[in-house]
Chain A
C-alpha cells in the first residue's frame, strides 16, 4: 500500500516534479535532498501537508537532469547544457559523487575515449602531468603548477617561490605537494599546497644532526600514510626522506651508500602490494641507471638493478624511464630508442628482456624528440611513443609476456612529453601548445555528450 508520504512533490523554481521517496533516498543520507524529506524535518512536511509540496529555489532544467540520474543512474545532458553548471547544481543537492561515478568507469586501456582536451594558459612547454585520486590532475610548467579538478576546471595556479618544479603529486584531491630545488633556507624545497585556496600549508624539511633544513626534492611518491622524496641537501646529505602525512614531520631518512645513488633519483613509486618504494636514478641525472626497491621499515635495499657494470651493447644502455608493475614482480623500462624492456624483480640484478630492437640512429637529430614515458595501472601498462600512447595488457600477471592491445592517438598536440594515471583516468600531456588529453572508460551507462 502506498503511504501518502511516499510520493514527493517538488516545486523547483516553479516547475513541479513528482517523484517517489525512494528515488530521493537514492541520493544518500548525507545529501540535501534526503535531509529535506528526512525525519528531522518531518514537521516541515506536515506544515505543507495541504499541498505536500517542497519548494526549492533552483533551476528546474538542471534538476530534471539530476532527478533522472537518481531515477536511472544515467547521466543524460541535453544539448547546450553547461557541464559546469550541472556540477554546481549537483554540489548544491549534495549528489556530485553520483554525477562523477556516472560519468566514467573503471579504467580499461582497451576501452578508452578521449573525453576532454584541455588547453593550458601558461607559456612554454609543460614538463610533467600527475593525476589525482578523484580524476583531477596537475601540470607542471617550469615554476608553475596548474591544477585542474575532476571536472577539468582550472584552479588557482601554484608555485613555490617561482623555482622550477621537479615533481608534484596529490596528497588528496584538495592538497598538492610540489618538489623543487632549494635556493637557500627559505626558498624552494618541498611544500604542501591547498588547491582550493591556493595557499602554502606546510613546508617539508629534512633533519640532519638535530637541525631542520630546507632541501632539494627530486622525485615524489605518496602512499596512505607517508610521502617520500629523493633529497639532496646542502652538505651532501643525499638520500630518501619519508614524512608523515598528518604531522608533516620527517619520520626517517635513508642515506645513500657510496656506490648507489638515491638522492638524485628522478622517479619514485610506492608499491602497495610488496610494501616497498621503488627508487630509480636514471640518465641524465646519473651516468648509469640504478633501480632499487627500498624496504622503508627496515631501511634497506630489498632489490636492486643497475647497468653500471654491464658492457654497453647499443640499446641496453640509457634507461630513460622506469615503472614497477608490483603484482607482476617486474620493472618496465624504456631506453632512448623507445624500446620497452622488462626486469624480473624476483632476484637481484637480472638482465633486461627487450621487447623490440630498433636500430639506433633512425631518429633524425633535427627533430626535437620526446622520449618514451611509462605509466602503470594494475596490470595495464601505458607507454608513450612520439604522439601516441600504446596500451599493453598481460596474461597471468607476467609482464614480459604482455601484448600491445591498443593505440591511443589524437591528431593535435604533437609529441607526448608525459603521461599519468589517476582516478581511473589517463592523462596525456603533449609537447606542443601546452595541451593535455583526458582519456576515460565510459561509465556503466554511456554519456550523451553534445557540445
Chain B
C-alpha cells in the first residue's frame, strides 16, 4: 500500500485501488492508546478485548507495526514515569509497599496489553527482531522505576535496613521482602545481582566482621561457635524465605569467611575453651559444632586435625614415657585403651565418623605407642592377665570386644614380631600351667592375629595348641595302660609333649631325677615311643611342677606344690636331714643358677621355708648347709612354693629377648631380599630397601642399616652381586 506522501499525484475518481484513510493509523492508534491509559487507570471494564485486538491486528496487517510498537513504548514509558514519581514521593516506611503495589499493578496491566498486542508479538516482533511486549514492559519498568536515580538508592537502602533490622532481632514483613526481591529477579538475574545481591553481600561482610570481633572478645570458644552457627542458620533461613536460592552459597561464604575463617586459629587455640580443652573434657556438642562449622571453610578441618594430632601425640608421649606408668603394664595398656575409646567416641559422636580424623587418630597412636619399645611386651602382658584371670565370668561378647580392642593396639605396633615373641612365651606359660580362662578366647585371639598377620604368624601358636591336645590324648592312653598293668604305688605322672621349635623353651638342661620318678618317666618314654616311631623325647625338667606330700615334725601334713627342680632337691631329704650345697649340686646335677634360685625359694621365703639354711642369709654360697625344717607349719594344707622369678623380665633378660628377636629377624629380612631379587633380577639399593620394608611391615619395621647388612651378607654368600658398572645395582645370582 502506498502512503499518504503520494497523495498529491493521485487522480481520485479513476483509482481503482482503495486507499486507506490516511488518518487511519492515527485513529486506530489513538483508540489503542486510550485503552492503554484506561488499563493503567484501572478502568478497563469498559474496554472490548475483541475490538482492541482487531485494531492492533489491523495496524500490523497494514504495516503500521512500527508505529504501534513505538507508540506502545512511549505510552508505557509515560505511565511508568508517573508511577516512579508517586513512588518517589512516598513517605518513610511505606516505600516498599507502594513499590510493590505499583509493581503488581504494572504486571497486571502488562498482561492485558500483551493480550491486546498478541498479534504484533507473533508477527511484527519476530520479523523485525524486536523485544516481545512482556519483556519490553519489564525492561521499561527496570529502567524507569527500579533504576531511576531516586528510587534505586532508596530501594537498596530500604532493603538492606530491613535485613539489618531482622539481623538485630526485629520482625519484618517477609512477604513484602519476598515480593520485592522476586521483582528484581523477574527483571533478570543481572538486575538482582547488580542492584541488590552485591551490596547485600558487602554489607553482610561488614556486619559480620564487626560482630565476630565483638564475640571473640567476650565469648569463649564454645559460645562463639554457638553464635556463629546461629547466624549461619539465620542467613540460610533468610535465603529460603525471600532471596534467590543461588544467593545461599554466596552469603554463607561471607559468614563463613568473616565468622570462621578469619578467627579460626584464634578459636582453636583459645585458652581453656579451645579445641584442646574440648577434647580433654569430652565436650561432644561443642566439638560437633566446631567440626560442622570448620568443615565449611577450606583449611578448617585440616587445622582441627593438626591441633588434635599435636595434642594426641603430646598426650600419648607423656603416657608412654611416664616412668610411673611403666611400673604397671596392665595399667599402661588400660590407659591406652581408655584414650583410644575416648577419641573413638569423639570422632563418632562429634566428627561424623570422618575418615580423615580416624586416620589422624590411628597415625598418632601408631606414633606414640612405638615410642616405647616395651609396648609389645606390655600389650602381651595385658592379654596374658586377661586370659589368665580377668576374663572369668565375662560374657562372650565382652570378651570379643576386649580382644578387638587389643587387636587394635596390636595393629599400631611396628614391631609385631616382638609381640609375637612375648605372646608365645606368655601363651606357653598359660598352656603349660593350664591357667588359661577360656580356650575359646585364646583361639579367637589367635584367629584375629591370623587374619591380621597371616598364617605364618600364628602357625607356631596353633601348633602349641595342638601339642596340648595330643598330650592330653597321650596321657589318657598312658594312664589306661598303667591302670591295666596295675602298678599303683608309683607317683602319677602328667606329661606334655611339646614339638621342638614351636615352643619358646630353652634347651633342657638335664638333671638327675629321683629314682621313683625316673622309673615312671622311662615307662612313659617306652609307651610314647611305641606309639610314635622315629621321635626323640627330651625331658624339660626346668619347666615341670610336682605335688609332694610331706610329713613334718609335729605330725603336720602338707601338700607341697613345687617345681621339678625343687622336687628333686626335696626328695634328697627323704634320705638325709641335712645336706651341703655341694652335696645337693652333685646329687641333682641342676645348673647352679637354677639350683640357687630354687634353694632360695625353698629356704629363704618366709612362711614357705621347708628347708633351713645355715647361715641364715639370702645369698646362697657354695658351703651353705640346708636342713629339713621340722617345724614348718602353714595355715593351708596345700602350699605352693613358687620359684623366685620376676614376673616382668629383668634387664639382662630383656636384652636377651631383644637379641633373640634381632637374630630371628635376620633370616626374615634375607628371605625377603631373596624373594624380591628372584623376581626382579636387578634392582638398586633404595628400591630393595623400600620393597623389603613393604613386605615386612606387617611384622616389624626393619631399619635400612640392618637391611644393608643383610644384603652384604648375601653378597658374601653369593646370592647377590654388585653390578660391575653401577655399584648401586644388585644382581641376583641363581
Contact = CB atoms under 8 A, between A and B. Distances in A.
Q: Report if A and B associate in a common complex.
A: yes
Of listed B47, B50, B111, B115, residue having the most chain A CB within 10 A: B50
Interface stretch (B116-124, B367-375, B409-417, B633-641): B116-124
Interface string B44-64: 111111100110010000000
Nearest to A10: B50
A194 interface: yes
A375 B50 CA distance: 46
Contacts of B50: 36, 54-57
A94 B127 contact: no
Interface in B14-57: 44-50, 53-54, 57
Interface of B, secondary structure class, is helix
Given A32-B115, A47-B46, 6 more contacts: A32-B53, A41-B44, A44-B44, A57-B54, A94-B119, A174-B126
A38 interface: yes
Nearest to B128: A197
Nearest to B45: A43
Nearest to B54: A57
A359 interface: no
Contacts of A44: 44-45, 47-49
13 contacts: A31-B118, A40-B111, A41-B112, A44-B45, A55-B50, A56-B50, A57-B50, A91-B119, A92-B119, A94-B118, A94-B119, A194-B127, A196-B127
Nearest to A41: B49
A207 to B, nearest CB: 25
Interface of B: 44-50, 53-54, 57, 108, 111-112, 115, 118-119, 122-123, 126-128
A193 B250 CA distance: 45
Given A57-B54, A194-B127, A40 B112 contact: yes
A32 B118 contact: yes
A7 B419 CA distance: 94
Contacts of B122: 91, 94
A197 B127 contact: yes
Contacts, number: 54
Contacts of A161: none
B118 A35 contact: yes
Nearest to A196: B127
Interface in A422-436: none
A35 B119 contact: no
A32 B119 contact: yes
B113 to A, nearest CB: 10
A40 B119 contact: no
Contacts of B123: 91
A30 interface: yes
B46 A35 contact: no
B115 A41 contact: yes
A164 to B, nearest CB: 28
Contacts of A55: 48, 50
Contacts of A57: 50, 54
A197 B124 CA distance: 10
Contacts of A32: 53, 115, 118-119
Nearest to B49: A41
Interface string A70-93: 000000000000000000000110
Task: Identify the 5 closest CB pairs spanning chains A and B, nearest first.
Answer: A43-B45, A35-B115, A196-B127, A41-B49, A40-B112
A96 to B, nearest CB: 8
A92 B115 CA distance: 12
Nearest to A45: B49
Given A35-B49, A36-B53, A47-B46, A174 B118 contact: no
Interface string A181-221: 00000000000001011000000000000000000000000
Interface string A15-41: 000000000000000111001101011
Contacts of A36: 49-50, 53, 115
A363 B122 CA distance: 52
Contacts of A38: 115
Nearest to A34: B115
Contacts of B119: 32, 91-92, 94
A35 to B, nearest CB: 4
Contacts of A30: 118
Nearest to A43: B45
Contacts of B48: 44, 55
A83 to B, nearest CB: 19
A32 B117 CA distance: 9
B401 to A, nearest CB: 58
A92 B120 CA distance: 10
Contact of B45 (A47, A54, A94): A47
Contacts of A43: 44-45
A174 B112 CA distance: 27
A275 to B, nearest CB: 28
Nearest to A36: B49
Nearest to A56: B50
Of listed B47, B118, B127, residue having the most chain A CB within 10 A: B118
Interface string A91-132: 110100000000000000000000000000000000000000
B44 to A, nearest CB: 6
Contacts of A197: 127-128
B57 A92 contact: yes
Contacts of B111: 40
Nearest to B46: A47
